[in-house]
Amino acid sequence: MTTAGIADTLGAPLRVNSVTIKNRIVLGPMAVLRPTADGRASDQSIAFLERRARGGVGLVIVGGAVSSARGWNESPFTPNLRFDGDEYIPDLARLVDAVHGAGAKVFAQIFPSFGRMGVPRGGARLIAASPKPVVLGAQGLPDHVYVPGGRITPVPDEATAADIAQIQADTVAASLRARAAGFDGIEIGAHMCYFYSSFLSPLANQRTDGYGGSAENRARALRDAVAATRVAVGPHYPIGIRVSVNDHMPGGQGPEGFAEVVAHIVPAGLDFVSLSEANYESMAANVPSRSGTMLDHHEPQIFRAALGDIPLFLSSTPDPQQAADAIAAGHADATMLARQLLADPDYANKVVGDRLSEIVWCDHGNSCLRRLMTNVPVACHKNREMGREDPHAARATLPQNALIWASGNALLMKIADTAARMLPARPTH
């Protein structure tokens, strides 16, 4: 495919239910928005998203957000953007207006609980499909990311029927707030090791009731949430889900199994599926250092065969040639980017404008990820503007920057890992 063909393919409009997106390049949800301490959209939140919209993306999916008080209280990083109260709607509307004004559509990621990745602050009760913790990076970590001594998360309680019903109610209520704020659609987060994700794979779901066992049962909690949201928002409002498509773990579920589960959810009212690779136990696969791994694993192809023509958002494919070829072949309908759009907010304009030689490429040094993991304001060494889109935004301090450098140094992290493993083990519950 010529560069002009790439521009034509990725520049073509895409319709999702009643919404037309101007091109096939999507800003994926990331926890880099730096909202206010009480969870409202800040000037930096808005400036960051507006900049990517001006850079040409057709759709912005807003992440780093929570849709319940539970999610706010158990989040492993703070602060988050809040959708769990009507008082947040005016600031969310201000965010939406800015993205619309810059020419992009905007969806909200609805995220009710961190599940197996939650932090039990003040003795709070964590819930998931089954009482199974996460062994962080069990199958490897991304390049330049280290967890000295390893980490095992606290063991969650098995969610009761009442817990599941409450999460569903929170999801529906937050979706209605997103619609009231002017968001063009919503995406329910069911990826990585979070609450809804914990139901989808037998690796995390060991239940023997109506929420465990068969693919249909493992789909039930998320399917019911989609169905209830569809009733609440009406037939024309876009609803999608973000799902992991492969555990990449011994004994885990592959793309055929995940696609079978999602096939039970589609009839409840889905309009699109965002494909997310792996989870926190297989982070090396989730945050690859080369483009096209998802296509190499045939995951979009398998989902297409199982789900038919529902729009699929491809991840892990910043190479425009690969993304355009996948869309032209019918394997996916849009390419969804994260780190690449930190490095170059004008990526979409350059691709659609047939200016590929001008793209500033992410080098996968993953300092952005280390900053997220340590609650340090996110920046990008390939883009000095990143994190400073609003000139008044707080910046990382010198000690914080020194920490980020040290946490990416292999020798220092090897020493830290050795020291950490000499300490007594801590209880996980």
pLDDT in tens, 115-161: 999 999 888 899 999 999 999 999 999 999 999 988 999 999 999 99
Residue 65 tokens, joined: 């957000």
Say whether pLDDT at 412 is over 60: yes
Amino acid at 176: L
Query: For the chain, how big is the Rg over CA atoms in Å?
Result: 20
Residue 234's alpha-carbon distances to 40, 237, 247, in angstroms, are 27, 6, 33
> Smallest Cα–Cα separation from 221: which of 297, 273, 168?
168
Mean residue pLDDT across the chain: 95
Say whether pLDDT at 428 is over 80: no
Q: By the 8 A CB rule, do 293 and 285 touch?
A: yes
Residue 339 tokens, joined: 């780190």
Q: What φ, ψ does residue 197 adopt, rounded to 5°?
A: -60, -35
**pLDDT tier, 222 (very low <50, low <70, confident <90, very high otherwise):** very high
Query: Buried b / exposed e across 91-100, counting CB within 10 Å, b at 16+?
Result: bbebbbebbb
Mutual orientation of helices 89-101 and 161-181 as an angle, nearest 10°?
50
What's the confidence (pLDDT) of residue 124? Answer: 87
- C-alpha 245/C-alpha 400 separation (Å) is 35
37 - beta bridge partners?
A: none
Amino acid at 33: L
Place of tokens 């965010």: 95
Q: By the 8 A CB rule, do 311 and 272 touch?
A: yes
Q: By the 8 A CB rule, do 46 and 60 touch?
A: no
Mean pLDDT of 387-403: 92
**pTM of the shown model:** 0.95
Mean pLDDT of 51-80: 96
Residue 133 tokens, joined: 């913790």
Residue 44 tokens, joined: 């930096």
Say whether pLDDT at 167 is over 70: yes
Mean pLDDT of 158-173: 98
